Structures are given as structure tokens and as C-alpha cells.
Amino acid sequence: MAEPIENGENPLNIDGSNFNADMYLECIMKHTTLKQVMDKEAEIVTQSQFLQSEMQTLVYENYNKFISATETVRKMRSDFIIMQEEMNKLSENMNKITSFSAQISESLKESGSNVSRLCGTRQLLDKLQFLFLLPSQLNNAILEGRYVDAVHDYTHAQRVLQKYGNQPSFQSIQTECSEIIYGLKKSLRERLLNPETSASELAESVGLLRQLQETDSSLRDIFLNCAESRLDQHLQTLNSILESADIIEWVEKCNNTLLADLGIIVSCYHEMFQDEDTSNIPGFADKILFQVFHLFEEVSKRPENVGTDILIRGLDKFFRKLQAMKEIISSDTVSEKAVNVVVQCISNKATIQYQTIQTQFKESLMKVRQSLASKGSESSDLKDILNSLQVYLMQKVQASLLDLMAFLQNNLSFGLKPWCAKAVADSCWKVISETVINLSDMVKKMACLQSSNNNIPFELLLILAKLCLEMQETGVTTLHCHLIKLLEESAPGLVVENKDTNSVMVHLSTAAQSALDSEVVFIGQTAAQMLRVSVLARDWLRAPEPRGPRAVCRRVVETLASADSAASQLFPTSIKPSSDSSRRTIWSRAPSSFSPINRIFSERIEVFSPAGADRAALSNGALKVALKALVECVRLRTFGRHGLQQLQVDVHFLQQRLSCMGNDERLLNALLEDALSSAQLRCVDPQLMEPSIVDIICERG
Amino acid sequence: MEEGNSIIYGLEHQTRALSPQYGENDAIRFLIGTQSLKPESNQVHVVELEEDTGALHTKVFKHDIGEIWHLRCSPHDAATLLTTHNSYDPNTSQCTMGVSVFKLPTVEVIPKDLDDLSAIQGRNPENMELMTTIRPEAIGEKSKSQMALIGTSNSLPILREYPNRLMAEWDGEWPPGLMSVLLIQKSGEEIRCGEWHPTEASRIGVVYEGGVSVHDVTKGDVVATTATQARARQNLTGGKWNPHQGHTQFAVLQDMHIKCYDTRTDCTKPSWSIDNAHKQLARDLDFNPNRQFHLASAGDDAALNIWDYRNGREPIFSRTDHSHWVWTVRYNTYHEQLLLTGSSDARALLTAAASVCKDLDEEAAKISQALEDGVLQSYEQHEDSVYACEWSASEPWTFASLSYDARLYIFMIIINMMEYCSHLWDGSAKYLLDALDRLQQRAIRIIGDEVTKP
């Protein structure tokens, strides 16, 4: 088929809506053969016939339907007419109902308004009654003390009264009320000023007054004034029981009265004046607390409260309360001060501790001194005394350290705070260092005193010097270690900065040195004095022939020996070089050898020089002082032959007896030689005795 | 500090006595007395330092009257001197002490011309006799007889103890005016020293073991005496006139104390005293030349103390720098801040006490500022005890120290002082700078040190 496929537009499509019969014919005519046209014609004819018959069937069928539909429409029309009628009836009825209801509402309207007016009147009357009763109510309330109700009622009524205050009837009520309220205010103010009222009542009163629209600033001032006067009263009470109560009682009393009230006052103040500037409250609280702290300090210093236990308990309570107060007052100074109070207590305690240690040590020293003075050094064991003194001192210090550790107990409110631990550590170190420094000062003072008046036994000086040295060597470190151990136990984790032990050590060593120097000079001077007096008093010019060493030489030897033996008890004996040179006689030197040349080769002798801390050095020091004095005194005298020989004997005797002391024989010999050669120079007839005779005389004597 | 600025002079015998020539204003001259028990062997040496050349010139005079314990030149006459001496008489086997006044024939020491110089140097040993032209001015037989008179008549022990009472007792029989020479009296009584009165040329104060007496040299009268209190029994060790307070006070050292008597009174009671001035014996004292209430003292406790005697409880300045007894202390005559001490530890120390010498005139204040309290210099050259040291009377920066082993050192601290003050030169007044300049030139001349030449 040549026809284009497309339907619709294609005018050649016979079934399409745009079918153009002419074009179709023409197309067929042009393109097809006759046969084909013939066929086409036949086909179309059959198709047309078919369509004709089909259309006829359809018409028949639909015709029936049309008839039934027409019938239905006719039926409906008749039904609608009935309905119309009923509808009309309904609308009629409705109209009737409307009119009736209008009528009813018309008739009810009047009584309703009456009822509502009655209600309003009733309310008004109630209010009026309240107003009229207000004065008496107020009075009643005030009489019964229900100030809160009274003020509540009044504040309610006040607005009305203010609004209608110009009406005569209300005016009287208002004035009456104002009077009552004025009275109330007055009584409230009186109550404020009355010292009997409690803090809560006070707060209540001020609250009420504030509701009654008192001006704030004056109220605040009054409030604070009243509060202050009341707190002052507490303070006075506390002050008065200062003498009688112990610290726990006092702290309880303080907590329950003063601090409790202060808390109430401060919190009330915040509540009431919260919107306003509250800057003066911390100042106020600080002022009060300052006095409290002051009182507390006094209490804590009272002698009956010295006991650590009681002090700590009191302090703990006080501190707890203060911690609580800190929340209320929210002032930094309070917490700061609370901390300060604790620290202060600790350091006070430490001060008391080391002062007691000092006085006790002094006492024990006095005892030692007396026993030494009465017994003398031979009978008393210096080592024992030293040990007992040292042990005593160490124990005292350790006990006081332990005592101070009580401040670090776990159950205490401040026990675990690092600042507290630090304060305790500092105080403990203070106890140690102060004790040591006191000891050194005391030793220095004694050494100084010794040289001016001689009533301190030299053994004591030796003991003290040794004590200082021992403390320097071991004591301070032991105590320091002990302290660190204690701190670790009580406050683990606390970092203690290392204390400067050096300055303390310096104190000790200088004290020891001055004590030793003083002892050496004392012994030396004692011997020197004996020699000086004996040399100066004697008439050497006309002296008799020597029969033995003079008595004073024995005494000098005894003095030096006793000092030496005392020193040997305390100070280590360095190994003495054993030599027989001590037997060397020293008068072999001719007087002509007395010349500077000899001295050039010998060392210069420092007489008053610092003494070393060992037995030989101490003895050397004393020997130097004594023998140099002998030399100088000999040079001031003039000797006869026998005088010179007497001195020769003396010198020999001294050499024999003193050579066992000290370790510097060269020094001893040099000084004795000097004495003898000086005497030779000062002799009018310088003839020495035979050494053998001198030996014999010395042994005989 | 330079140690080299010292000149040494050696003697043959032991020496204790040293004195500057107070009456001399130009030459640096010191007198030394020897102490020897050998008869006829004691001498007085006059030593002069020639500043320009640094050479020492000496003259030696005989002192046959005995060993010299103490020597003082008169402040009124350069040629006059006073010795305290002791001599041994083998016949009685007694020692006799005395105080004598001598006059040198000439004060000149440095030879005038070269001939002289060579003559002296050439004939040194035997020249001694030639040169010792000095004799005690008026020692005579009279006084010797007097001595005997006293010596024989004072056998009572009480008289021995209180010699001045003795003199008082003998007052009636004392031939008036006979004591033309003060040869004083009994054996056994020791004389400590004689001191010239600061203003009256004829008056001297003599310190005994047990008292003080004031004598008139020309008339021989005893002007005043004082005895130590009987119960004290503490011997005197020395004494000095107080240069202030109208020259009537004489201060003595009694044991550990310092006591000052007014010679116009009966001297029963000291007009002031410093008790326990030292912890041991007090050995010497010197008055501050400028401050009338200040004095320095030294003693066996090795301390140098400065006192304001109006309040004598505590020293206003105290140092213990020596290591043995301090035998002598001297204020520098021009600079009261500088003190010289000599000790038996064989040292002389130059100590500054600036802190107690404030509020003076500007120049002194500057020096005080420049100095710190304490030892400025320790002079260690001596080998034996230094019993005497003295500032030169004419040259404030020169001093001499004398040790027992007969060594005299003359030290010049001029360079050092210039160094101390050098930072003060800036802004000084011209006259000050000129003075310093002169000093420096002189120093360079003396030392001959090229380095210090500007």
C-alpha cells in the first residue's frame, strides 16, 4: 500500500478525521491500476454496508434507554413538588421559633443585669468591710505580734486607700491605718534597737519595714548599726569570758552567738537589699571579724590554752565555722584571714616551743654549771654531761616537731591543705633553726662573758663548744631528716623546699670557735696571771740559791694539765709524735745567740690565735698564752745569779711537765728558750747552773 | 701597699725607749735609749732621716747612769731630754732607778760638709767617746748623798709600799731646793716613766709603781704627789699628761683601769676614771690631740680601745688585731684617724679609726670618708716584741718602731696615703691640690720611684 502510514493529518487515511475524499480519489486514480481501483471500490462498498447495518443496531439499542430516562425525569419532577411544600412549612416554623426566643431573651435580660449588679455590690462591700475592719485587724495583729500579717494586710489596702483617699470616709480609715502603721513602724524600729531581739527577728523587722516602704539607705544604715551593736554585745560577752573559758568553750560560744548572728545578718542583708549595692557588707563583716580574730588570738595565747590538743580542737572548730561563713560573706579577706589565723597559731606555737626549749636548756645548763663548779672536772665525766645535754636538746626539739605535726591531722578542717602543711614545715624548721641559733648565741655570750668575769667553769665552755660542733656535724642534719620524715608521714605529697642549713651551721661553728678561743685564753690567762704575778712580785736580784722549782710552776702545770685532761675527754687526741727530743736541754744556747738571725729561721708565734678543735691544739693555745707572758714578764725584771738559776730550774721543770701536753714541742721549747735567754740578758751576773744539777733539783722538788 | 718604704737601723743592745724630738719642726729625728745591764755601756742614739736622700744619720751619746727604760724629749727645747733609768750597784747588789734631765750639746746630726761626713764614717768605732759630749746637766754628789739618805732611812715596809707618802713625811727635813736633779730615791721602788708637762718647761710628772709626783726640774720641788689607794695595791704601769683641760690633769694606768688626777688637788680621788678599760693589764694610753675627751688605750688583752672618758663604761671604738699584748699606742698628730700600735707579737699596726672622728673640717672629713675602720697596714718587719713606736714630730706621714732586739724601722706611708686620697683630688680646692702635689713630689724624690712620676 502506498498510502502514508500516518493517521490524523494524513488526508489520505480513510479512518482519519482529516480524510479528504477528493485527494484520496485522485491519489488512487494516479497510483493504482484499474484492477486495483476495482478492488478498492468493492472493498469500500462492503465496508460501507457493514457500517450501515452496525449503525442501525446501535440506534435500536439506545432508543430503549432514552425512553426509560425520559420516564425517570418525569417521575422526579413530581417528587420535587412535594418536597417544596415541606420545605416551606419548615421555614415557617423556624420563623416562629426565632420570634419566641427573642421574646424570652427580652424578658430575661432585666433580671440578669440585676444579679450581676448585686454581685459587684457584694464584692465592693466585702472590700469596704475589709477596709473598715483594717484598723482593728491591724491592731489585733500587732497585739498578737503577727507583724507579718499586719504588714501584708496593710500593703493590700494601701493601694485602694491611696486611690480613694480623698473621700471622707476612707480618709479617716487611711489616717487611722497610717497611725497604726506608724506605730507599727515605730515599734519595729524599737525592736530593731532593742538589744534583746534575736538576729532573725531583726531581719524580719527590717524586711517588714522595707515592705512598708522605708527608704533603703537609712534602713540599711539602721540595720547595720543595730547589727553592729548586737554583735558588739556578743564581742563584749566573748571578751568577758576570755579569762574564764578555755578555748573550746570560747570558740563554741563564739560560733553559736556571734558568728551565727553575723551569718544571719549578712544573708538577710543580701536577701533584702539584693538589688542594691552591697559593697559595705564585706567591710562590715571584716570589721567584726577583725575583732573576732583579735580576740581569738588572745584566747589562743592564754597560758591554759597552750596545750596543742586543745588549741587544735578549738582552732579546728573556729576554722570550720569561718569556712562556712566564707560562703555567706563571700569576701576574700575572710578566707585569707582564716588562713592567717591558722598560720599564726602554728607559728605562735612554734615560737612557744623554741622558747620553752631555750629556757629548759638554760636551766639544765645551769644545773650542769653548778655541778661542775661544785665538783670540779676530775670527778665529773664531761662526755656524759655532753651526751645528756645533746640528747636532751635533740629530744626536746623532736618532741616539739612531733607536737607541731598535730596540726596536720587528717580529720582537721585545715589539716590537709597545702598552705597548712607549708606553714607547719616552716614552723618546724623555725623551731630547729631558732633553737640552734639560740644555742649558738648563748654560747657566744658565755664565751664573751667568760673573758670579762671568770665565773663560768672552763669545762662548760669545752662542753658547749663540743656540743656546737656535734650539732653542726650531725645534729642539724638529723633534725632536718627527722622533720622531712615527719612531714612525709603527715602530709604525703607535700614538696618541702630544702632549707638553708648553711647559715645555721655557720652560727654553730662560730659559736664553737669563740667558746674554744675563750677557753684557751681563759686557761692561758689564768696560768699567765700566776706567772706574771709571781715573776713581778719576786726579788730576783737577791733571790736565794734555788732548791727546787717554785710552787707557782706546779700550780701552772696543774692548771694546764686539768684543762688538758678535760679537753682530752671531749676532743679527739691526735696521735702524738713520740720523740725523745723533749729531753733535750735548752740552756745550751749562749746568750749571744739571742739575735734576730735565730728568729728569722723560726716561725712567728701567734699567741692569741683561733684554737683548733682538738686536744693538742687547745693545749698548745693555752701554753702559748702562758709562756709568752712569762717571757714578757721576765724582760721587765733584773736578775741576780741565783735568780737566773731559779728561773732556769723553773723553765726546766715546765719543759719536763708540759712537754706531754700539746703536740708542738718546738713551740714549747722556743718559748721556754726565749724566757731563759731573756732572763740571761736581764741578769747582772749571767751564770747558768750545771744541767745535771738542774735535773736533780727538779726531780727532788 | 709597698713594703719597701722602710729604713732599718740596728743597735747593739736591747732597746725599749724611743722618742721623737718634739721640739724639732723640720728634721725627722728620733732618740733611742738602750737597755743593757753592763755598766757604762748604755747610749742614747739620735737618728735623723735625711728626707731627700733617704739616708740615716746618727749621733751616739753616752748614758752611763744606767739602762734606759723610758725616754722623752722635751716639747719645749729640742736639745733637752728626760730618761728613766735603772742601774745596778754590785756593792749593795741593788738596783736603783731614776729620772734624769739631759741636754744635748747640739741637735745637729747631719754633717755639714763632706769632710765631716767622711771623718765620721772613717772613725766610727772609737768616735763614740769623742761624740758623746752629753752629760746629765747637773748631776752631782749631793743628789747621790740624798739617795743614800733616803735609801738608808726607808727600811720600813710601809714606806716601801707608798713612796710618795714617804716623801711627804720627809717633807719637813727635806733640804729645800736641794733636789736640783731629780734622782729619785729609794731602791726597790720602780719608776715607770717621766713625762714633760705640755706647757711648763720646767715641770715633769713621774710615775712610780705606787704613785705619781710632779716635780719642778729647775727648783727641784715636789709640786704634787698622788698615791694609789692603799687597799687597791695595784701598781701603776704608766701615765701621761692630759693635753687638754688646762694641762693640770695627769692620767695614769693602774692595773686594768685608767685614772686621771688633777695635780692642783690633793689627789686623793681621781677627777675621772675608766674602770676596767681592758680585760687585762692596761699598758699605754694616748690622748687625742684634737678632741679633748677622746683617748686611746692599749693593754694585755691585745685590744686597742678608744674612749670618750665622759662616759667610760664602753669604748667608742675597739679593735683586737694584735695577737699579743699591745705595749704602745699613738695618735697621729695631724690625722687623728690614724693610730699606731706596737705589740709583743712583733708587729706594728697602722689602724684607722675614722668612724669616731667625724664632724671635723672638710679636709679631715674627706680623709675619714676615704678610710674604713680597721687595720690599714701591718708592719711585720720586726722579729721581736715592739715596745715602742712613735710618729715623727715634724713629718705626719713618718713613724718609727723599735723592737727589743734593737732594730729601729722608720716607715713612710706617704705614697699609700696619697693612694687613699687619690679619688678625692677631683674638685679639691687649689691649696689642697698644691699641698698634695708637693707631697707627691717629695715622695718621688725620697723613694726615687720612676713609676709614680706623673
Highest mean pLDDT among A500-509, B117-126, B348-357, B385-394: B385-394
Q: Which residue has the higher pLDDT, A388 or A663?
A: A388
Cα(B297)–Cα(B238) distance, rounded to whole angstroms?
Answer: 11
Percentage, residues of chain B above pLDDT 70: 66
SS3 content of chain B, % helix, strand, coil (to 5): 20, 40, 40
Are A684 and B404 within 8 A, CB to CB? no
First to last CA, chain A: 183
Tally C-beta pairs within 8 A across A and B.
58
Does the pLDDT at position A644 exceed 80? Answer: yes
In this prediction, residue A63 has a pLDDT band, given cuts at 50, 70 and 90, of: confident
* Backbone angle region of A399, left / alpha / beta, with phi > 0 → left and psi within -120 to 50 → alpha: alpha
Report yes or no on B132 lying in a domain.
yes
Domain containing residue B442:
424-454
Q: How many helices (H) and strands (E) does chain A have?
A: 22, 0
Q: What is the mean pLDDT of residues B174-180?
A: 31
* A113 near B CB under 8 A: no
* A541 near B CB under 8 A: yes
Domain end, chosen from B84, B118, B139, is at: B139
Q: Which of chain B's residues have a Cβ under 8 Å away from the Cβ of A541?
A: 88, 93-95
Please indicate, yes or no, whether residues A350 and A492 belong to a single structural domain of this protein: yes
Report yes or no on A54 lying in a domain.
yes
Please indicate, yes or no, whether residues A362 and A413 belong to a single structural domain of this protein: yes
Highest mean pLDDT among B112-126, B254-268, B375-389: B375-389
The strands making up B407-412's β-sheet, listed across from edge to edge, are B6-10, B407-412, B398-403, B386-391
* Torsion angles phi and psi, residue A605, rounded to 5: -100, 115
Report yes or no on A63 lying in a domain.
yes
Lowest mean pLDDT among A443-452, A544-553, B277-286: A443-452
Q: How distant is the Cα of A664 from the closest Cα of chain B, in angstroms?
A: 19
Tens digits of residue pLDDT in A410-444: 777 776 677 777 777 888 888 888 888 888 888 88
Domain containing residue A47:
43-100
In chain B, the residue whose alpha carbon lies closest to the alpha carbon of A625 is B324
Please indicate, yes or no, whether residues A47 and A22 belong to a single structural domain of this protein: no
| pLDDT at residue A20, as a whole number | 81
Are B345 and A683 within 8 A, CB to CB? no
B62 by Cβ neighbours in 10 Å (0-12 / 13-18 / 19+) ranks as: middle
Lowest mean pLDDT among A2-16, A183-197, A225-239, B209-223: A2-16
Please indicate, yes or no, whether residues A352 and A317 belong to a single structural domain of this protein: no
Domain count, chain A: 5
Report yes or no on B285 lying in a domain.
no
Does the pLDDT at position A70 exceed 80? Answer: yes
Please indicate, yes or no, whether residues A548 and A456 belong to a single structural domain of this protein: no
* B269 near A CB under 8 A: no
Largest CA distance in chain A: 207
**B-interface mutation test, from A539, A604, A637, most B Cβ less than 10 A away:** A604
Domain end, chosen from A100, A118, A144, is at: A100
Cα(A569)–Cα(A359) distance, rounded to whole angstroms?
Answer: 27
Q: How distant is the Cα of A596 from the closest Cα of chain B, in angstroms?
A: 6
**B262 forms bridges with which residues in the sheet?**
B249
Domain end, chosen from B71, B105, B139, is at: B139
Report yes or no on A262 lying in a domain.
yes
Tens digits of residue pLDDT in A245-296: 677 777 777 777 777 777 777 777 776 666 555 566 666 777 777 777 777 7
Report yes or no on B26 lying in a domain.
yes
Domain count, chain B: 2
Q: Which residues contact A451 (CB under 8 A, 6 or more apart)?
A: A518, A521, A522, B279, B301
Q: Which of chain B's residues have a Cβ under 8 Å away from the Cβ of A451?
A: 279, 301
Q: Which residue has the higher pLDDT, B215 or B359?
A: B215
| pLDDT at residue B430, as a whole number | 60
Please indicate, yes or no, whether residues A482 and A351 belong to a single structural domain of this protein: yes
Are B345 and A635 within 8 A, CB to CB? no
Pick the closest to residue A679 from A655, A645, A628, A629 (CA basis).
A645
- For cell 480609715, what's the residue? A173
Report yes or no on B75 lying in a domain.
yes
Report yes or no on B282 lying in a domain.
no
Q: Which of residues 42 through 61 in chain A touch B, CB cutoff 8 A?
A: none
**B19 forms bridges with which residues in the sheet?**
B31
Does the pLDDT at position B172 exceed 50? Answer: no
Which of B280, B302, B405 is facing A595, going by the closest CB pair? B405
Report yes or no on B301 lying in a domain.
no
Mean pLDDT, chain A, rounded, equals 77
